[in-house]
Structure 1
Amino acid sequence: MENTVLFNEYYRNWIDVYKQGAVREVTLNKYHMTSLWVDRLAPDMKICDLNRLTYQRLINAYAELHERQTTMDFHHQLKGAILDAVDEGYLDKDPTRKVIIKGRQPRPKKEKYLNQFQLQTLITSLKLESEISWEWFILLVAKTGMRFSEALALTPQDFDFRKQTVSVSKTWDYKGKGGFLPTKNKSSVRKIPLDWQVSIQFAQLLKDLPSDQPIFVRKKVYNSTVNHVLGRYCRRSQLPVITIHGLRHTHASLLLFAGVSIASVARRLGHSSMTTTQKTYLHIIQELENKDIDLIMRSLSSLNQ
């Protein structure tokens, strides 16, 4: 079996054969980015050069410039192709076995969510006029916890004002050429209850708009544009500057602190499982558990012998 072909030549061909048309464009772009990094870090590496030592050196070189989780993703994207190379006889053994994943220390994370008072301050400061704007987008995400791409894909026919719900059944390809795409997973297809005030407001806003056209998309949309609008309102109100995704975290956090069950929060957010919700909001869940322990102990101490 010919194994003197360059590893990245094999990898690029593997992407074209197995990933092109099989994964979403955003995922495909990640594979292409991995290929560019292999070009940069090991441009002359042949498949026959791949062994545990050379593969670990490649991973280590990548890890010097990236955080551990990003390095783990890089490894996983390479591993699929390498295992196929083993199956095809290019390699006798799996060089990725027992690889050690390293990485740079994570950067200090920005404030991810607002508390209830801060969110109220933000919503009160929004300049909500009689036509659709990014301010209305910010309000809707804050009230529903939708993902950015889900909210962009909303059309007037997704709203049921009689039942006070909005249906999430698609996303908007804002990273690519535009157009509707499927949701992130099956659990993301859902109906989100709306409060009466938002229902009345959007019923008025949408009454003359085309029923099947996206409400918020008029031209190419960038995540940074909407984040800039949100950031401007945060700074004006002297609040922590968060992103649109931070509004989703805010929504979930307020529900959890209000005592809404993890299962209900997971369904509302469109998580594939409660495990995802638990991992994402572990710090909040732990804080709530500490409050529960205090409550339990106070209740028990009130029982007289």
Structure 2
Amino acid sequence: MCIMAQIIKKGPSWMVRVSIMGDDGKQHKKSKAGFKTKAAAKAYAAKMEFQKTTGGVALVSGTLFPDYFKDWFNLYKRSNVTERTALTYHQVYNALKQYLNVPVEDIDRRRYRQFMVDFGSNRAKSTVSKFNSLIHACVKDAMYDGVVHKDFVASTDLVFDKSKTREVDYLSIDEIQRLVSHLVKTRNVHFTSKYMILTAIYTGARLGEIQALTWSDIKNNTISINKSWNETTQDFQPTKNESSIRTINVGDQLIALLKELNFNKKQIFVSQYHTVPTSAAVNKTLRESLKACHINRRGFHFHSLRHSHVAFLLANGIDLYAISKRLGHSDITTTSRVYSYMIDEYKNLTNNQIIKALGKLSSV
């Protein structure tokens, strides 16, 4: 990419005109006028010229933030995320195009706060929080690369529509036990969806992680999560992130159930049709099973089993750090944020336990 800048006297002020020869051989021009001094124009011209960033990303002043975000994703993230996660990044790009389609260098705390108000005011907290975290990751890399000088995201509060914000849905201990009992009684080795649901309840693993399980991942009483399954390509793919790679301890009950499926095949949950059940198929089985158990949970889906696993562990006094590692979260902060509502519900239980324990200190 070749960039040339001209500084032109225009009446009482100065103008900067930049000619950019792209890699495609086409010339693009951009100009900005109104500089009071030649020095100010020179400074702007220098800023507009090629700014090198890590990995060969080039930023010319005037680059719109959505375009920078898209380039950043393709360079730093695309090769390491699933198709589903890539779709989320694309949704962020579209949101930026609609609400923050301005040059990178023109964004400050005030402008980003306005974006947060415009975008978040009619969206759920989970959506706003996710988008904000992805944008923040981009901005932090931009700071490291010298593209921006201030983290305008860090001190901006989230704005969201409380009426659209649903807390994570999960089953009570009684409901989990009823569901497990039903699944065990009605299981069929030729249809593996119920075995997948049981695995989710016992491990808290994600659907893609369960779909990808092979017999080599089962050792003693542990399940190794080291890959995921892509329904589109019908092939293995990397886990959601590096922290998702983990080993989960399980009991004899689940291992015994899984061994029923050992028909000399590589993947554990291949059905009689020689395919791994899709998300739609497993969720259909889940809905039918909940109905059979007289459990009414509108909108409950496979990922809700992960939440139910966490609820069950919290109810049994399991340490949050241990739960975080079991889920494959990068740190305990993620677990605390995602399950804050659930954790609050169990605070009363913990407080009662504390008072009871303290009561043993004295007989007075």
Partner of 1:246: 304
Q: 1:284 to 1:265 in 2, by over 3 A?
A: farther
Task: Letter of the 2:242 partner, please give it.
Answer: N
Choose from 352, 356, 362 the match for 1:291: 352
Partner of 2:128: 71
Bigger relative contact order, structure 1 or 2, given CA contacts below 8 A and separation 6+? Answer: 1
Partner of 2:222: 165
Deviation at 1:12, TM superposition (A): 3.1
Larger Rg: 2
Choose from 343, 346, 358 the match for 1:282: 343
Partner of 1:203: 259
Moved more, 274-283 or 238-247: 274-283
Partner of 1:138: 197
Aligned residues: 296
Deviation at 1:292, TM superposition (A): 0.6
Partner of 2:94: 36
Task: Letter of the 2:187 partner, please give it.
Answer: L
Task: Letter of the 2:119 partner, please give it.
Answer: Y
Deviation at 1:84, TM superposition (A): 6.5
Q: 1:233 to 1:53 in 2, by over 3 A?
A: same
Structure-to-structure mapping, 1:9-20, within 5 angstroms: 9-20=67-78
Classify the secondary structure of the residue corresponding to 2:261: helix
Deviation at 1:200, TM superposition (A): 2.9
Deviation at 1:232, TM superposition (A): 2.0
Indicate if the aligned counterparts of 1:116 and 1:254 stay in contact, CA closer than 8 A. yes
Q: 1:245 to 1:68 in 2, by over 3 A?
A: closer
Deviation at 1:80, TM superposition (A): 5.2
Percent of pairs with identical residues = 25
Classify the secondary structure of the residue corresponding to 1:239: coil
Task: Letter of the 1:104 partner, please give it.
Answer: D
Partner of 1:231: 287
Classify the secondary structure of the residue corresponding to 1:56: helix
Indicate if the aligned counterparts of 2:205 and 2:327 stay in contact, CA closer than 8 A. yes
Q: Which has a greater percent of strand?
A: 2
Indicate if the aligned counterparts of 1:143 and 1:251 stay in contact, CA closer than 8 A. yes
Classify the secondary structure of the residue corresponding to 1:213: coil
**1:153 and 2:212 are equivalent in the alignment:** yes
Q: Distance in 1 between matches of 2:213 and 2:310?
A: 20
TM-score (norm 2): 0.66
Deviation at 1:117, TM superposition (A): 2.3
- Where structure 1 has 5 or more consecutive residues not aligned to the other structure, the ranges are none
Indicate if the aligned counterparts of 1:6 and 1:46 stay in contact, CA closer than 8 A. yes
Classify the secondary structure of the residue corresponding to 2:348: helix
Deviation at 1:62, TM superposition (A): 0.9
TM-score (norm 1): 0.77
Classify the secondary structure of the residue corresponding to 2:202: helix
**1:57 and 2:111 are equivalent in the alignment:** no
Q: 1:41 to 1:170 in 2, by over 3 A?
A: same
Q: Distance in 1 between matches of 2:254 and 2:68?
A: 53
Q: Distance in 2 between matches of 1:90 and 1:256?
A: 44
Q: Distance in 2 between matches of 1:227 and 1:114?
A: 15
Q: 1:154 to 1:297 in 2, by over 3 A?
A: same
Q: Distance in 2 between matches of 1:199 and 1:48?
A: 56
Root-mean-square deviation (CA), in Å? Answer: 3.5
Q: Could you give the per-residue CA deviations for residues 201-234 of structure 1, whole angstroms, max 9, x where no partner exists? A: 322321x231x33524755754343223212221
Deviation at 1:276, TM superposition (A): 4.5
Q: Distance in 1 between matches of 2:319 and 2:148?
A: 50
Deviation at 1:98, TM superposition (A): 4.8
**1:213 and 2:267 are equivalent in the alignment:** yes
